[in-house]
Amino acid sequence: MQPTSSKPFSYETFPISGVVAYFSMEIAINPAMPTYSGGLGILAGDTLRSAADLGVPLVAFTLVHRKGYFQQHLDVMGTQKEEVQPWDPTDFCTEEPARVTVSVEGRTVTVRCWRYNLAGRYGHVVPIYLLDTDVDGNSGWDRGLTDHLYGGDTNYRLQQEIVLGMGGARMVRALGFRANVYHMNEGHAALLTLALLESQLGGGPLGEATETDMQQVRKRCVFTTHTPVPAGHDRFSTEQSIRILGGDRTARLEKLGCFRDGMLNMTLLALRFSRYANGVAMQHGKVSREMFPEFAIDSITNGVHAPTWTSAPIQQMLDEHIPAWRRDNLYLRNAIDLPEKAIIQAHARTKEALLADVAARTGLVLNPKVLTLGFARRAATYKRATLLFTDPQRLVEIATAAGGLQILYAGKAHPQDEPGKALIQKVVEEAAKLSNDVLRIVYLENHAWDLGALLTSGVDVWVNTPKRPYEASGTSGMKAALNGVPSLSILDGWWIEGCIEGFTGWAIEDGANDVEEATSLYKKLETAVVPLFLQQPENWAHLMRNTIAFNGSYFNTNRMVKQYTRNSYYPVKLIEQAKVQEVAYAG
């Protein structure tokens, strides 16, 4: 059965029947659906958009998040106010008749789902199922389990993870799919392995699971970790695990070595039950192997969905000069030969659109001729949004020497992240203090898909200042690169792979502390960025086309999904084995 596509299944590409079931706590599906918070959700959405373009037989599972991720409002002091964004799944999705149940704190909770059809470039559909516990018969509390993305406490989170992992795995079958690969995008979905193990045992007690049973589950599971810091991994106390998951399951998980430092660790659980695991950039794979030395963890570097994140003028330019780029993003390598004039004009039009939007949002009229820097991402402390203000006087001097400097900021802090919120206030405070005729600093409210696309494409330089090695990958600089916008960034995450000094952007040198790294940031602005921008427009155009040719051609999900397909989902080695012992791989 192949419900994912009306077209015949391609045996050349995927010689085994069945689907990949992809699980993610957040997915940026559609700009009008507030079902994501930031980079992880955007990555999941871009993965599915490319899977649809490439015709990969894949179906996806997430939670419906009826109350949405919050809308951000900032007052003049930069204090963040959060407003819920309820949305109605019936506006975008179709309800499925299937129902499954999960056990949460000893209660039986019924789960339904909504289907969103994500169509690719050639019509192949990747269905996304949004799991929903707002069902008659569930208690008031349980009906709210799929309301808030990253809301509530860890009790709420573990209950949501039961719905996503165990509810989702059961829903795969209830919908009639034969999944031979279960992809856990981050540890939030790790409990799906328990549902598979229980189904392997015919619903029997987990205590009776043998090594062979475990192998059967492992054969079908793959995992992507996204977090380079131990504290970032999802963890739950033994007490929570016993109370919410049950004593029998908790005992089994302990025996299987899924606890670390006395806590149930979802990354460990996912790793124990996966035949393949990867980090999301070369360095992140290395850091993950150091954190979990007993596992072989590969790297597949992230990307972004090229047509989603390139501006209309850039798309028109590419269509004219490199028509094959949409079918296969590798052809963007040919951007090396783009006429300087074409790229300068396409960028100028993109920048105009951004500045018009800024004017509409804030009333502030910025100058399209002035060097404009962008910094927009989650306001997490390790991203150091205030590094640019380490020496305010020097920043003013740089702006004066450059004949003007404009800096556009945006980003939401998680509602419970007080240090993150303080960072936003600090940026807003500095912006008010420093802004004058030559230096203009603006913090834009409510960073989301639409604003993110405008900013990454429309500024002149994309700035990123994470503290090493906390940035697993980062993807906003990839969006910029596809638009010919160079990065000025710490050598962390993807930028280690993407930075060719002076050709695709510039590296902020590693220092012993924030002050040293800020000093390098200023120096690069003074000696490299500003002179090139002001005095050598032709060389700036070359930098822009290098950025598309070298980085746009690689840091995209078209390449990334092909890597997942052959390295993670369907390695040729396993396919060859499966031809011999049919059922083994088809599960």
Q: Which residues of the chain form contacts with ligand PLP (CB under 6 A)? A: 38-39, 42, 377-378, 447-449, 452, 474-476, 479
172 versus 561: smaller Cβ distance to ligand PLP:
561
Tally of residues, the chain: 587
Alpha carbon distance 262, 242 (integer Å): 13
Structural contact between residues 464 and 474, judged by C-beta atoms closer than 8 angstroms: yes
DSSP string, 257-307: T-EETTEEEHHHHHHHT-SEEEESSHHHHHHHHHHSTTS--EE----B-HH
161 versus 492: smaller Cβ distance to ligand PLP:
492
Q: In whole angstroms, how close is the CB of 78 to ligand PLP at the nearest point?
A: 19
Looking at the DSSP bridge assignments, the partners of residue 260 are 263
Alpha carbon distance 441, 334 (integer Å): 36
CB atoms within 10 A of CB 335: 25
162 versus 304: smaller Cβ distance to ligand PLP:
304
Q: In whole angstroms, how close is the CB of 203 to ligand PLP at the nearest point?
A: 41
145 versus 427: smaller Cβ distance to ligand PLP:
427
225 versus 476: smaller Cβ distance to ligand PLP:
476
Q: In whole angstroms, how close is the CB of 156 to ligand PLP at the nearest point?
A: 23
Q: In whole angstroms, how close is the CB of 377 to ligand PLP at the nearest point?
A: 3
Cis peptide before 368 (omega within 30 of 0): no
236 versus 449: smaller Cβ distance to ligand PLP:
449
252 versus 383: smaller Cβ distance to ligand PLP:
383
Structural contact between residues 212 and 135, judged by C-beta atoms closer than 8 angstroms: no
Structural contact between residues 43 and 204, judged by C-beta atoms closer than 8 angstroms: no
In the three-class reduction of DSSP (H, G, I as helix; E, B as strand; rest coil), residue 61 is classed as strand
Compute CA distances 342 → 315, 316, 318, 383, 441, whole Å: 12, 10, 10, 34, 29
Q: In whole angstroms, how close is the CB of 449 to ligand PLP at the nearest point?
A: 6
39 versus 144: smaller Cβ distance to ligand PLP:
39
Q: In whole angstroms, how close is the CB of 585 to ligand PLP at the nearest point?
A: 34
Dihedral angle over CA of 9, 15, 19, 20, nearest 10 = -130
182 versus 494: smaller Cβ distance to ligand PLP:
494
Q: In whole angstroms, how close is the CB of 397 to ligand PLP at the nearest point?
A: 28
Q: In whole angstroms, how close is the CB of 502 to ligand PLP at the nearest point?
A: 22
* Residue 320 phi, psi dihedral angles, 5° rounding: -75, -40
Which residue type, as a one-letter code, is found at position 96?
A: E
384 versus 479: smaller Cβ distance to ligand PLP:
479
Q: In whole angstroms, how close is the CB of 287 to ligand PLP at the nearest point?
A: 16
Alpha carbon distance 441, 78 (integer Å): 13
Q: Which residues contact 255 (CB under 8 A, 6 or more apart)?
A: none
DSSP string, 523-584: HHIIIIIHHHHHH-HHHHHHHHHHIIIIIITTSBHHHHHHHIIIIII--HHHHHHHHHSTHH
Q: In whole angstroms, how close is the CB of 41 to ligand PLP at the nearest point?
A: 8
45 versus 55: smaller Cβ distance to ligand PLP:
45
Alpha carbon distance 43, 326 (integer Å): 18
Tokens of 18: 């069945």
Q: In whole angstroms, how close is the CB of 480 to ligand PLP at the nearest point?
A: 9
